[in-house]
Amino acid sequence: MAGNKLNELQLNDLNRDGFLILPELFSENEIEILNEKMPHLWAQDTEANIREKNSGEIRMAMALHQRDEQFSKLVYHSKLINPAYQIRPEPLYVQQVKVNNKTPFSDDVWQWHRDFGNHNVNDGIRRPLALNIHVYLDDVNQFNGPICFIPGSHLTENREVASHEMFFDDQTTSYAVWAVDEAVIGNQVNKAQKLNPDHGIVAAMGKKGTALIFFDTTIHCSPANFSPWKRSVFSMILNPVSNAYGNTDRPDYLHHKDLTPVEPLGGDLLNI
Q: How far is the CB of 244 from ligand AKG (least distance, A)?
A: 19
Q: How far is the CB of 233 from ligand AKG (least distance, A)?
A: 5
Residue 147 within binding range of ligand AKG, rule CB under 6 A: yes
* 158 phi, psi to nearest 5 deg: -120, 90
Give dist(CA 177, CA 12) in Å, integer.
Answer: 30
Given the complex with ligand AKG, which of 71 and 110 has the nearer CB atom?
Answer: 110
Q: Which of residues 78-117 bind ligand AKG (CB under 6 A)?
A: 100, 110, 115
Residue 220 within binding range of ligand AKG, rule CB under 6 A: yes
Give dist(CA 52, CA 182) in Å, integer.
Answer: 24
Burial of 248 (0-12, 13-18, 19+ CB in 10 A): exposed
Per-residue x/- mask for ligand AKG, residues 114 to 133, rule CB under 6 A? Answer: -x----------------x-
Give dist(CA 54, CA 132) in Å, integer.
Answer: 27
Give dist(CA 207, CA 229) in Å, integer.
Answer: 13
Q: How far is the CB of 3 from ligand AKG (least distance, A)?
A: 27
Q: How far is the CB of 52 from ligand AKG (least distance, A)?
A: 12
Q: How far is the CB of 61 from ligand AKG (least distance, A)?
A: 12
Residue 173 within binding range of ligand AKG, rule CB under 6 A: no
Residue 138 within binding range of ligand AKG, rule CB under 6 A: no
Q: How far is the CB of 59 from ligand AKG (least distance, A)?
A: 9
Strand order in the sheet with 148-149: 110-113, 220-222, 148-149, 202-203
Given the complex with ligand AKG, which of 2 and 208 has the nearer CB atom?
Answer: 208
Q: How far is the CB of 240 from ligand AKG (least distance, A)?
A: 18
Residue 208 within binding range of ligand AKG, rule CB under 6 A: no
Give dist(CA 115, CA 131) in Å, integer.
Answer: 9
Q: Which of residues 234-263 bind ligand AKG (CB under 6 A)?
A: 235
Given the complex with ligand AKG, which of 67 and 114 has the nearer CB atom?
Answer: 114
Q: How far is the CB of 110 from ligand AKG (least distance, A)?
A: 4
Given the complex with ligand AKG, which of 73 and 220 has the nearer CB atom?
Answer: 220
Identify the residue among 49, 144, 173, 222 touching ligand AKG (CB under 6 A). Answer: 222
User: Dihedral sign, CA of 241, 245, 249, 254?
Assistant: negative
* 207 phi, psi to nearest 5 deg: -70, 160
Given the complex with ligand AKG, which of 42 and 268 has the nearer CB atom?
Answer: 42
Q: How many residues bind ligand AKG (CB under 6 A)?
A: 10
- Which residues of the chain form contacts with ligand AKG (CB under 6 A)? 100, 110, 115, 132, 145, 147, 220, 222, 233, 235
